[in-house]
Amino acid sequence: MRHRWGLGVVSLVAATVMVSAGGCDGAAGPDNVSVRLENASPASFAEATLYTSEGPQTSYDVGTGESTPYIAVATAYRIATTEVVIEDDTLRLQVIDFVGEEPLSAGRYTYVISVVGLGTASPSLTQEIRKDT
């Protein structure tokens, strides 16, 4: 499923992923969920941030086709608030709430992020989720 949100969303209302007490080592056991971001854009991300209940998890210099490390979390959903910086532009996908959403089952997941309209007056991000093996 593909989601698209534009710019202009002002406040972060809901945390999207809860970091487990076990930390962010990305270990995926039978009951664990791990998430990461992948850059599917034609431009590199100077910064790529996944927002969690423990605060933002930021990676730097994420090139085209590259992924951030997995983050072990207690809960994640098929949508997540993410933010990327490309040159002087900051783009954000903003999740307001998770009404009607079910938590992801155990496993490793990648939020695949693309930029639409790069180089235009109103670029935006798209997000897809992929369950990894």
SS3 state of residue 54: coil
Rounded Cα distance, 99 and 97, in Å = 6
SS3 state of residue 67: strand
Q: What share of the chain is helix, strand, coil (3-state, %, to 5)?
A: 0, 50, 50
Rounded Cα distance, 112 and 6, in Å = 16
Closest CA to 84 of 52, 54, 41: 41
Residue 63, pLDDT score: 98
- Residue 13 binned pLDDT confidence (cut-offs 50, 70, 90): very low
Closest CA to 32 of 81, 78, 70, 58: 70
**pLDDT per residue over 55-86, tens digit each?**
688 999 999 999 999 999 888 899 999 999 99
- Residue 30 binned pLDDT confidence (cut-offs 50, 70, 90): low
**pLDDT per residue over 100-129, tens digit each?**
989 999 999 999 999 999 889 999 999 999
Work out whether strand 71-75 and strand 82-86 pair parallel, antiparallel, or are unpaired. Answer: unpaired
Residue 87, pLDDT score: 86
Stretch 11-27: mean pLDDT? 36
**Domain 2-132 in CATH 1.10.3720.10:** no
Residue 52, pLDDT score: 65
**The model scores a pTM over 0.75:** yes
Stretch 19-24: mean pLDDT? 36
